[in-house]
Chains A and B, each alone.
Chain A
Amino acid sequence: MNFTLFVAAVLTGVGFVAIVTLLARLLAPRSFNAQKEEPYECGVPTRGGSWMQFRVGYYLFAILFLMFDVETMFLFPWAVVMRTMGPAGLTAVLFFLAILVLGLAYAWRKGALRWR
């Protein structure tokens, strides 16, 4: 039943956007004008394309994010069974966390967290 409802929720979102867009298209007026279709840049004509190389800083953070997000993903099952795992589980996870913190420290030291 849960998965049926999940599909229902997904379809709700998709259907809502589709139907309301259709409604707006029906209700809204339409006019055509060459200036209207230009990109909005404060009335100044655009220079060059926008699909271009972008600052690398953002990608560095994305890569770091990947590492730590996967880490939290691995920690979720441990958090659930923490009480039954006992001290052995706790030490294992502390080791795991220590290695990750070392990774963060390495990135920090290397200057990956500095915005240049």
Chain B
Amino acid sequence: MFDFTIITNWLHTLLVGVLPEWAAVLTESVLVAVVIISLAAIFAMVLIYMERKVCAFFQCRLGPNRVGKWGLLQLFADVFKMLQKEIIKMRQTDRFLHDLAPFFVITASMITIACLPWNKGAQILDFNIGVFFFLAVSSVSVVGILLAGWGSNSKYPLIGAMRSGAQIISYEISIGITMLTVICLTGTMQISEIVEQQYTEGWNIFRGHLPMVVAFLIYMIAGNAECNRGPFDLPESESELTAGYHTEYSGMHFGYFYLAEYMNLFISAGLATTVFLGGWAPLHIAGLDGFNHAMDYIPGVVWFVGKALFVVFLFMWERWTLPRLRIDHILTLEWKYLMPISLVNLVVMALVVAFGIHF
């Protein structure tokens, strides 16, 4: 596989050669910022377009098809429309908290998108506590959502934020336990090492067979709930709460929540790809050397994005197939079914690893 660190090292030596140390680091940080923003913007837009098209096809409609060929320019039109809309200052809101909320939501997404491994060596943040760090940061966005609901001082946002808070923190436990299941198998929390391991030994979902498949299924349910989507979209259920926690946000302020929602969708798909489906690791079948060599020629980034978009499609499938649940059903599903199942699954995985009955 092509190692992306060649490029970053070359750039680093080049910059250190012409600039003093601090200026080189500053330049690199600015480059990183540009990369993060472009990734966020590109994937949020791709996902919004994809969501509209996928949902349209699920409902036997055409979806956006007026602006540009196949409606491809619809998104740019939407972004510019949103930029031109007035940000209304409401009389009753707590202005400080109201304006602070988007910062939390967007910053959490920006940091977590930096944790995804795009290719061998192409990962911005690679801590040795990778997965743990990822979970810790991604839960910051719930603070933003609660602030948005509380700061709006209006009833719909408050109800939406409370539901969203209860739902996100509940499903976070399942996500945490499924990640524990994965870490039991990999024995490391560093994201790059997890993927390297899957490159040499096969994807985790094949290595960990039954418990890993169960963990993947639980992750697919809990991930949808974490993004406030799918059958779990009652924090912003439009038929009862208008728009949930971002009812009182207008113009670009609303745009941040929209952007963050789709970024989070891509990020949860990316995490599923990284820990279960091998990240940038190509599909290898033991014994078929020719096939494996051919697969190695496809760049890692293509594998990663392809798999992530496939998982995104699964998330969308889930969303547009199932009807919305009620809040007590959601909490019952998590606390009485998913969490006990994932705890048992964790124990099974621990036993599987202890007795060495994995591939």
A interface residues, Cβ below 8 angstroms from B? 1-2, 4-18, 20-21, 23-25, 27-31, 36-42, 46, 49-51, 54-55, 57-58, 61-62, 64-65, 68-69, 72, 75-76, 79-83, 87, 90, 93-94, 97, 101, 104, 108, 113, 115
Contact of A2 among B88, B127, B335 (CB under 8 A): B127
Could you give 6 example pairs across A and B, Cβ below 8 Å?
A5-B125, A13-B107, A24-B85, A41-B154, A82-B184, A115-B331
Supposing A5-B114, A115-B328 touch, asked if A13 and B103 sit within 8 A by C-beta, the answer is: yes
A115 to B154, CA, bound (A): 24
The reply to whether B332 and A113 form a contact with Cβ atoms under 8 Å apart is yes
B106 at the interface (CB under 8 A from A): yes
The reply to whether A79 and B183 form a contact with Cβ atoms under 8 Å apart is yes
Closest A residue by C-beta to B88: A36
Contact of A16 among B91, B108, B110, B170 (CB under 8 A): B110
The reply to whether A61 and B336 form a contact with Cβ atoms under 8 Å apart is no
The reply to whether A12 and B252 form a contact with Cβ atoms under 8 Å apart is no
Q: Which residues of A contact B162 (CB under 8 A)?
A: 54-55, 58
A86 to B184, CA, bound (A): 12
Q: Which residues of B contact A36 (CB under 8 A)?
A: 88
Interface size on B, residues (CB 8 A): 79
Supposing A37-B88, A37-B89, A82-B184 touch, asked if A21 and B253 sit within 8 A by C-beta, the answer is: yes
Closest B residue by C-beta to A101: B343
B11 at the interface (CB under 8 A from A): no
Q: Which residues of A contact B269 (CB under 8 A)?
A: none
The reply to whether A113 and B125 form a contact with Cβ atoms under 8 Å apart is no
Q: Which residues of A contact B331 (CB under 8 A)?
A: 61, 113, 115
Given contacts A8-B30, A20-B83, 19 further A-B contacts (CB under 8 A): A2-B126, A9-B125, A13-B107, A13-B110, A17-B106, A24-B85, A37-B92, A40-B248, A41-B155, A46-B92, A50-B155, A54-B162, A58-B165, A61-B170, A68-B339, A69-B169, A80-B183, A80-B189, A97-B346
**Residues of B317-359 contacting chain A, CB below 8 A:** 327-328, 331-332, 335-336, 339-340, 343, 346-347, 350-351, 353-354
The reply to whether A12 and B36 form a contact with Cβ atoms under 8 Å apart is yes
B147 at the interface (CB under 8 A from A): no
The reply to whether A37 and B91 form a contact with Cβ atoms under 8 Å apart is yes
The reply to whether A9 and B86 form a contact with Cβ atoms under 8 Å apart is no
The reply to whether A113 and B335 form a contact with Cβ atoms under 8 Å apart is yes
The reply to whether A61 and B350 form a contact with Cβ atoms under 8 Å apart is no
Q: Which 5 A-B pairs have the closest CB atoms?
A: A13-B107, A115-B328, A13-B110, A24-B252, A8-B29
The reply to whether B353 and A17 form a contact with Cβ atoms under 8 Å apart is no
**Residues of B71-93 contacting chain A, CB below 8 A:** 82-92
A109 to B172, CA, bound (A): 23
The reply to whether A37 and B154 form a contact with Cβ atoms under 8 Å apart is no
Q: Which residues of B contact A1 (CB under 8 A)?
A: 25
CB A110 to nearest CB in B, in angstroms, measures 13
Q: Which residues of B contact A13 (CB under 8 A)?
A: 103, 106-111
CB A99 to nearest CB in B, in angstroms, measures 12
Q: Which residues of A contact B154 (CB under 8 A)?
A: 39-41, 46, 50
B271 at the interface (CB under 8 A from A): no
Supposing A9-B125, A30-B86, A80-B187 touch, asked if A40 and B156 sit within 8 A by C-beta, the answer is: yes
